[in-house]
Each structure stands twice: as structure tokens, then as C-alpha cells.
Amino acid sequence: MRRKLYIFILFLMAFLSVGSVYAADTVEGKVYLHYYRFDQNYTNWDAWVWQNEPVSGEGSAHQFVDDTTPNEFNFGGKVAILDKNTQLNGSTKIGIIIRKGNWEQKDVDADRFITLDPAKSDEHFYFVEGDFAIGISLNDPNGPSRYAKFKTATFTNTTTISFTTTHEVTANELKIMENNVELSINIEGIELSDDKKSGKITLANPIDLGKSYVLSHQFSDNSEQAKIDISFDGLYNSDEFNDQFAYDGDLGAIYSASSTTFKVWAPISTNVVLNVYDSGTPQSLGGSNVKQTYQMIKKDKGIFEVTVAGDLHGKYYTYDVTNGSRINQDIVDPYAKSVGINGLRGMIVDFTRTNPEGWNNVNTTPNITNKTDAIIYELHVRDLTTHSSWNGTEANRGKWLGLIETGTKYEGLSTGFDHIKELGITHLQILPFFDYGNAIDETKQNDPTYNSFNWGYMPLNFNAIEGNYSANPYDGLVRINELKQVVKAYDEAGIKINMDVVYNHTGLSADSNFNLIVPGYYHRFTSTGAYSNGSGTGNETASERYMVRKFIVDSVMFWAEEYKLGGFRFDLMALHDVETMNELSEKLHQLNPNILIYGEPWTGGTSTLPESEQAGKQNIVNLDRVGAFNDDTRDGIKGSVFSSWMGGFVQGDFTTKNKVKYGITGGISHVDNAGYNVWHGNPGKIINYVTAHDNNTLHDKLYLSLEPINRLEDLEKISLQAHGLILTSQGIPFIHAGDEFLRSKELPDGKFDHNSYQSPDSVNQIQWNWKKEYQDHYKKFKKILDIRNEHAELRMASNETINQNLRFVFNNQKGVISYIIKNPNQNTTLLVIANANTTDLTAKLPAGNWKVELDTVGNLTTASKEIKLEATGFYILSIDKVLDHTDFESTMKESKNNLVPVVVASTTSVVAIGLGVVAFFVIKKKKGQ
């Protein structure tokens, strides 16, 4: 384990200095979060609170307890009490979500924020079930109301309304308003539940979907009528809704030099206003709020439209949208193709003015013939260049332009862009780079005390580039040109850019721009009305709905066409439906026959989308030219990613052999792996990998699984064996950046970070001194890549060819995976052998002049009738003749100098062998040695 003491010292100094600043400016005191529920049932409800300013922090749960505060503060419910200094660290702004259990339910599906006054001792804030408002005093007129109210009201079909309330209702007090006119004559019947807190209203005639509806009731405890806008949630999947509102035309800001036409899909809205700004930065962040407003006109299919004369290139825009009684202001257009600082305003762009010189020549030449020719390398923008050993231009660290800076070296070894070109990959997959402005404050980009790192899996504006990687995040045009420079430079190096996309959820839920425009349409919901949380982040998008599918397809096609991307990796792809993925694949392949489309064939939680419709494992065979990550072989090689101590084949668990063979054969039904549950079905659809950005790096996983069995000295050899199995498998190999020289994500306390999504650069960055330190590992890794690129038989494109030419040999030898791959066109045969045993073996070979292409543990270059295979070694041999699997024996022999293997259970073991006594001293290797 690489200990970096100086990092820890700097971290500690920074922590102490920040803490001292807070302490100097903060008064001792507490924050009281008063919470009121109408049913008085607070079981499992708590307040999830996190620090937001001056620095962001991790969230934690705070229990609600009996409220024993004086009457002047007591709300009649429960209270969570937080200490300003010890728990909130002197924060000036905190975020809060009131939730039930471990995210089973949120009271309000939105992040809410409270500004604290450091000069005050105690502060009280008030929350009521289902109410967005936050009160700052017991009787705050702008705070939440404890009066009886409607909780929900929804059209379940065009003649039925379902509703729930906090208190009992009486049928004769229920009123329905259609565009502010009472519908008393249209009510056919009212059914109430036994407790009279829910019911169903049946209408005599179908509603007009182009109008708005309000349900009201006069409760006994309230002098004013309680009102609620009746949502159309129950109609979104209906034929009636699709017939009236499904739209196939362009949306967004449609630019021309003489005018720009704005179109937004807002079918249930009664009014939409366009705001046009010169600045993409609000006044609160140093910009301007000066704007021109334009009334938009409602047209067919739920479209609001307006055309503004003049050349608007470079200007910014938002919408004010009225839904029922609520006006949502300054909403960013979901179709906005660039944005200003923190994604707060959309941008109008003439993309012809954003192209670097030579852009028309980009992506005109394919770099692969078959999908199996691809080698994918996964990278985060910041990771490549933030460490001091990168040795590039300071201004480019962590930025787009850092990805393409040439001439950088560490002690004579290439770093950064030159290193990637040196590897021999075909596709660079970049972690999400569409705008996730709510996860990172771009205004603090140059603040050395601010953590600007985030993986980016909480999308805000799907069609705009994240500003955190730009030299100027305030100007939405700069980032467009920078990304195009990156695409162009890699294309000239024979490498295509793949985009990691996250369409399965939105970073925000109820307060997402989608939901503020069309409430309830873009997400899935459970039967209780809560957001379905198959993503594990609070919501999931409803890709099966017409306009959600349209948005996903439109968005991906925009990225593919405008930025000339080489592929797309879909996060949690099983949350998308099969029809959406197949429609998308068809259009992308029409644009580029060589494009790569692949994703994670699982969800992040329980989804309301039926498994039969999910683009997950059970349906990969039904997807058209869409691939999926192979977690079977991943875990078969190194052990489960969810149990750090658990090993796989390379650490000695030989029961996983068939899982490894599944990846080697390209995810097809293979004669030598009969009976295996095949779910890819084609080598062009399987992404073989041993590690990715999620979970531990391979180095860290191996360390954690080898240390308990005293085998740390084998770590480098086992790493090469794991990568060797992946890079000689049929299908598409995938590499996590830095694994070629044993990348680690070590924390200051010496532990490893398995989920570094918002850990600082010091944890996530690639340290180029590793390339020097582990040069032998790197050279052998690179050699395996070279062999793959040189040998077409490692990249076969059809099931038939694989079954004809790939066969396993030495099949009865425990702890060994070995296979031959024939190339009849070249009259050659490759032999691959992985000896995962802790003992040496000798393998008898068919007679001939064998060339040892790779020996990861020794220096063999040739072989004839046999080859000695050292423990944990990985070998690739070649011969100029076509051999058959029947030419090989089924087992190997243990080498004569082997000792009886010993299972080491303690620091020092003494083992008696036969008549003699031999002492074996196994000294546990210390971390850092």
C-alpha cells in the first residue's frame, strides 16, 4: 500500500485551519428542525442534513424526538436538534431532506436549503408534511400550514379523479373547477373511503386535456377553502394523452442568423413566458438579471412557441411556466444545448461558429472494422492531469485542454495524452461530462480549498457540457470549442471518444426542470405516489413514455452528430426499456455503422418497470447491436465487488472457472462451456472487464483479498494474469485508466476508497510516478495490448468463427485456464495459459517451434515439447501451424522442484513433510513495503 504521509499532513492542516476559521466566526448554539405530520405517526422518519456552505459535506441522519421546547417554539410535532459547531461545523447554509427509513420515502421530493445566521445562538425552522415551505418562526405567514388540506388529486382516467386528504371530507363540500368555472353538473358520483380521508369522483363526461382543473373543499378548521390542482399523472400512459400531445418535431432554441424560434413541450401548462438574457450569470453570482420577456403562444400538441427576430447567438434564456396555481420561474429548457455558470440559464448557439480548424475532417475514417476490434479505456477528465507528476501546463490541469496537451513526461516517461496514444487503445470513454451543475459549484473552480471533483452521475442539463472542465465556465461557448478540440485531437490519433451517459434518472426530482414543466410525466412512480427509485438516487425516468423516449433519442443523436462521438455507455441501462434502446440503436447505426452502444445491464434498486421490458441481462439478446458489461467474468476472475476480501479464480477460487470461460468465449453458447447461462449471445455485445470506476481498483481489490492469505508478494503477477484473461478474451475489452500501472485509491488513513464519486483529486488522480515504479508491470500490460491488436484471432466477430477456432485445452488441470485460438488464414495457432496455482507446472506441448510471445513471471522466449509454467504466471505462445484441441493433453505435471503447498494461517508456520522436517518462515508483508 502506498502511504502518502505528506497528503495526510496537508489534509490535517487544512482541516484544522478551516475549523479554526469557523470557530472564530460562530456563536455556540443549536438548530431546531420542527416537523409536523397530520397523522402524528413519526415512526422511522428522520432529517437527512448536509453542509452546503461555505463548504459542501456528506449527509447524515438526525432523529426526530419529542418536542419539549417552550410554547413559543413548539409546533406540536417532533423536533431534530443539531449543534451548530460540533455537528454542522459552523455551516452558513445546510441542505435538508425529510425522509422515511433508508430512503423508502421522501416527505417532499426536493432538496431544500436553510440559510443560517452565524451571529445567532439558537435558530428554529418549521416543516409540515407534504408542504414545500419552510417557516422561520411558529406563525411565519410564508411558512407551512397545519390546516387541513388535500394531499393528492389525480385523474386516473378522463372521467375519474382519485384524491387523498389530511382530514375527513364531506361529499357536498367537494367542488371541481374547470378553467375557474365550477363543474357541478358534470359530477356523476362521489365515493368516500371509510375514514373519509380519500375518495373517487366520477364525471359524467370526459375532461378536456387542454384545460386545467382544481379540486376544493371547505374543511371545518379552515376559514378558506382548501384547493389543489388535479394532476394528469394517471393519464400520461393513456392513448388519449398520446393522441393529443405526442409531438415529433424539433424542440428547444432553433437558431438562424435572422431569428430564433423557441419551442417547449408543456401540454398541461396554461402560460409560458420566454426570458432572454445577455448574461449567463445571475446577479447573485456577479452577473446580471436584465432580461427581455416574450409571451409564448400555445399551439397543437402541447407546444408553446415564439420566434424572436435578430441574431441571438451567445445569448441566454429561461422559461417561466404556469401549471395550475403555481408559477415556476427561470426554468432551463431541457433541450438547451449549452448553459452559463452552474447550468442556471440555457444558451442560444450557432454551432458553426464553435468548430476548431479542420473539424470537417473529424470522424471521416473508421478506426475499427468490427466492434470486437475496439479497446475501451475509461477515464475521468480530472484524473489524467491533476497530479503534480503529470508535468503539463498549470492552467490545463483538470480541464478539457489538459486531455490533449502533448510533450508531458515524468522522469522520461510519457504522461497524459501521450501515454494514452502510446497504449494502443481505440476508444476513450469519459465519465459523464454533460452538465451536472447542482453537484459542483463552478464559481469556485479556482478556489484551492474547494473540492471540485465529482464523477458526474447527477445530471442537470443533459444536452450541455459541464463547465467545471472549461477554462471559462461563465461562457457557454468556450466549453463547446474545447470539447471539439479534444474529439479532433483524439480522432487524429486514431482514438474515438465515448460518452458515459446517465438518462436513467435526473439529478433533481420534483424540482428538476422536467418536472417543473410537466409535473409527474418524466419519472416513474410507485403505487403509493412516491418516486420509483430504481437508480438509488431518488428517482428514475420513464423511458417508455413517448416524449421521454423522444428526449433520450433526440439528446443522444445531438451528441453523436454535433460532437462526432464514437460511442455511448449507458449508466444503469436496465432502467431503460428495450424499445427505446432499439430505436436509439437503429438511428445511431444509420449515422455511424461502427458506433459503440453498451451499458450496465442492471438497476440501482427496485424499479416499477417490469423486468420483461428492461434492457437488462434477461433482454440483452433482444437488443439490436447494444452491448453490456460482463459482471459474470469480472467477479469470476477477481471475486465479488461487494465483498473486498473475497477472491476469484486468480486468487485461488477455482470454482469460478466457467464464469471466466464465459467471457473468454465472447459471451456465446460455446461447446466447451456447455450449459452456461448465455445472456449476451454475440461477441460484439459483450464488454469484458475486471474493474471500472465503481468499487475498488484492481490493485486495491487484490491487496484486500491477498493480504489475509499472506500473498501480497504475488499482487503484481496476479494483476497481470487478471488483465491477460480479459485482453485475450473474445468480445470488447474495457480498461480502467491507470490499472496498467497498478492504480490505487488510497485514503489518508491508509484504507482504500471503493466509492470515490466525490472524493478529492488526491484520492482519484492518476499518479504518474506509478508508471515509473511499476514499469515492469506496465511493459507487460502494454505487450498484451500489442498482441491483441496484432492478432485478428483475438477479435473474432461471429459466433460460428469462435466455436470453430477457440477451444480449451488442459481441461482437467486444476487451477489452470488454457485455450488455443486458430487462425487458418495465417496458418497459426495461439496458446494462452493462466496458471493460478501457487505451484509451478510443466505442460507438454505438441512438437514444433513455439514462440513465447508473453511470459509475465519469467523470461521465456521459445519452447518446443514442453514449457514450465511458474506459479501465478500468464503465458501467450504462438506456432506457425494450425493445431486442434485434441493435440493437447488434459492435464499438466507439477514441476519437480515444487514443495507440497501449504495453506498459511499464521505469521510463521512450521510444516513437517514426510520423514524430514523443513521450516518455512512466511513473514507477513507490511503495508508500504
Task: Say if residue 582 is in the same domain as residue 530.
Answer: yes
Report how far residue 582's alpha carbon sits from residue 215's, in angstroms, rounded to the nearest whole number.
Answer: 41
pLDDT at 4 over 70: no
Task: Say if residue 196 is in the same domain as residue 278.
Answer: no
Question: What are the catalytic residues?
Answer: 571, 600
pLDDT reported for residue 770: 98
pLDDT at 16 over 50: no
- Residue 426 located in a structural domain: no
CA angle 4/5/11 to nearest 5° reads 100
Nearest Cα residue to 872 out of 705, 650, 712? 650
CATH number of the domain where residue 247 is located:
2.60.40.10
28 pLDDT band, cuts 50/70/90, is confident
23 pLDDT band, cuts 50/70/90, is very low
- Residue 831 located in a structural domain: yes
The burial class, CB within 10 Å (0-12 / 13-18 / 19+), for 326 is exposed
State pLDDT tens for residues 473-492.
999 999 999 999 999 999 99
Task: Say if residue 98 is in the same domain as residue 213.
Answer: no
27 pLDDT band, cuts 50/70/90, is low
- Residue 449 located in a structural domain: no
103 pLDDT band, cuts 50/70/90, is confident
pLDDT at 913 over 50: no
Report how far residue 550's alpha carbon sits from residue 565's, in angstroms, rounded to the nearest whole number.
Answer: 20
- Residue 599 located in a structural domain: yes
- Residue 301 located in a structural domain: yes
Report how far residue 189's alpha carbon sits from residue 200's, in angstroms, rounded to the nearest whole number.
Answer: 8
pLDDT reported for residue 183: 86
CATH number of the domain where residue 871 is located:
2.60.40.1180
State pLDDT tens for residues 715-745.
999 999 999 999 999 999 999 999 999 999 9
The b/e string for 120-144 (b: 16+ C-beta within 10 A; e otherwise) is eeebbbbbbbbbeebbeebeeeebb
Percent of the chain with pLDDT over 90: 87
Nearest Cα residue to 705 out of 634, 750, 646, 643? 646
Task: Say if residue 95 is in the same domain as residue 126.
Answer: yes
Helix (H, G, I), strand (E, B) or coil at 14: helix
Is the separation of the CB atoms in 892 and 842 below 8 Å?
yes
Task: Say if residue 508 is in the same domain as residue 588.
Answer: yes
What residues form DSSP beta bridges with 83?
30
Report how far residue 160's alpha carbon sits from residue 243's, in angstroms, rounded to the nearest whole number.
Answer: 19
Q: Residue 735 to residues 372, 688, 803: CA-CA distances in angstroms?
A: 14, 9, 26
671 pLDDT band, cuts 50/70/90, is very high
What are the cell numbers at 256? 438562424
Report residue 399 CA to chain centroid gap. Answer: 20
State pLDDT tens for residues 607-628.
999 999 999 999 999 999 999 9
Which amino acid, residue 327?
I
109 pLDDT band, cuts 50/70/90, is confident
Q: Give residue 438's region: left, alpha or beta (phi > 0; psi -120 to 50).
A: alpha
First to last CA, the chain: 8
Task: Say if residue 613 is in the same domain as residue 512.
Answer: yes
State pLDDT tens for residues 401-436.
999 999 999 999 999 999 999 999 999 999 999 999
Report how far residue 138's alpha carbon sits from residue 36's, in angstroms, rounded to the nearest whole number.
Answer: 12
What radius of gyration, in Å, describes the C-alpha atoms of the chain?
31
- Residue 917 located in a structural domain: no
State pLDDT tens for residues 254-309.
999 999 999 999 999 999 999 999 999 999 999 999 999 999 999 999 999 999 99
Q: Residue 499 to residues 75, 138, 362, 381, 476: CA-CA distances in angstroms?
A: 50, 50, 17, 12, 19
User: What one-character DSSP code corresponds to residue 386?
Assistant: -
pLDDT at 916 over 70: no
pLDDT at 527 over 50: yes
Find the Cα–Cα–Cα–Cα dihedral 95, 101, 105, 108, rounded to 10°: -30
pLDDT reported for residue 929: 28
Tell me the average pLDDT across 854-864: 94
Report how far residue 85's alpha carbon sits from residue 21's, in angstroms, rounded to the nearest whole number.
Answer: 12
Task: Tell me the angle at which helices 631-638 and 698-706 cross, rounded to the nearest 10 degrees.
Answer: 40
What are the cell numbers at 668? 456465446
pLDDT at 910 over 70: no
Which amino acid, residue 121?
S
Note down the domain range covering 247.
241-353
Report how far residue 196's alpha carbon sits from residue 477's, in angstroms, rounded to the nearest whole number.
Answer: 57
Helix (H) or strand (E) holding 853: strand 850-855
Task: Say if residue 107 is in the same domain as residue 157.
Answer: no
> Which of 231, 261, 276 is where one domain is finished?
231
Any idea which residue has 426542470 for its cell? 513
Task: Say if residue 123 is in the same domain as residue 104.
Answer: yes
CA angle 117/122/127 to nearest 5° reads 85
Is the separation of the CB atoms in 108 and 98 below 8 Å?
yes
User: What one-character DSSP code corresponds to residue 523?
Assistant: B
- Residue 12 located in a structural domain: no
What are the cell numbers at 269? 401548462
Task: Say if residue 129 is in the same domain as residue 156.
Answer: no
- Compute the mean pLDDT over every residue in the chain, rounded to the nearest whole number: 92
User: What one-character DSSP code corresponds to residue 77?
Assistant: S
Q: How many helices (H) and strands (E) does the chain have?
A: 15, 49
Report how far residue 641's alpha carbon sits from residue 651's, in angstroms, rounded to the nearest whole number.
Answer: 14
> Which of 81, 110, 135 is where one domain is finished?
135
What are the cell numbers at 494? 486514431
CATH number of the domain where residue 590 is located:
3.20.20.80
Is the separation of the CB atoms in 192 and 220 below 8 Å?
no
pLDDT at 928 over 80: no
Is the separation of the CB atoms in 260 and 294 below 8 Å?
no
Task: Say if residue 620 is in the same domain as residue 508.
Answer: yes
State pLDDT tens for residues 203-231.
999 999 989 999 999 998 766 789 999 99
Percent of the chain with pLDDT over 70: 93
Report how far residue 477's alpha carbon sits from residue 350's, in angstroms, rounded to the nearest whole number.
Answer: 9
- Residue 263 located in a structural domain: yes
pLDDT reported for residue 574: 98
pLDDT at 180 over 60: yes
Counted domains in the chain: 5
The b/e string for 74-87 (b: 16+ C-beta within 10 A; e otherwise) is ebebbbbbbebbeb
Helix (H, G, I), strand (E, B) or coil at 737: coil
Report how far residue 23's alpha carbon sits from residue 614's, in angstroms, rounded to the nearest whole number.
Answer: 52
Task: Say if residue 333 is in the same domain as residue 245.
Answer: yes
Task: Say if residue 609 is in the same domain as residue 533.
Answer: yes
Helix (H) or strand (E) holding 587: helix 578-591
Phi and psi at residue 552, in whole multiples of 5°? -60, -45
Q: Residue 48 to residues 106, 111, 439, 458: CA-CA distances in angstroms?
A: 10, 10, 17, 18
CATH number of the domain where residue 156 is located:
2.60.40.1220
pLDDT reported for residue 622: 97
Is the separation of the CB atoms in 540 and 546 below 8 Å?
no
CA angle 685/687/688 to nearest 5° reads 135
Report how far residue 902's alpha carbon sits from residue 493's, in angstroms, rounded to the nearest whole number.
Answer: 50
The burial class, CB within 10 Å (0-12 / 13-18 / 19+), for 267 is buried
Q: Residue 151 to residues 23, 148, 227: CA-CA distances in angstroms?
A: 43, 9, 10
Neighbours of 903 (CB within 10 A): 10
Report how far residue 785's alpha carbon sits from residue 788's, in angstroms, rounded to the nearest whole number.
Answer: 5
What are the cell numbers at 442? 463552478
Q: Residue 898 to residues 503, 842, 894: CA-CA distances in angstroms?
A: 55, 11, 7
pLDDT reported for residue 223: 66
What are the cell numbers at 11? 489534509
Phi and psi at residue 862, in whole multiples of 5°? -140, 165
Which residues of 324-410 form beta strands (DSSP E)? 326-331, 346-347, 376-379, 409-410
Q: Which of 14-28, 140-154, 697-711 has the highest mean pLDDT?
A: 697-711
pLDDT at 594 over 60: yes
Which residues of 42-137 form beta strands (DSSP E)? 45-53, 59-63, 65-66, 78-83, 93-100, 105-106, 112-115, 123-128
> Which of 302, 323, 353 is where one domain is finished?
353
Report residue 892 CA to chain centroid gap. Answer: 45
**Helix ranges restricted to H, 751-862:** 761-764, 769-773, 775-790, 799-805
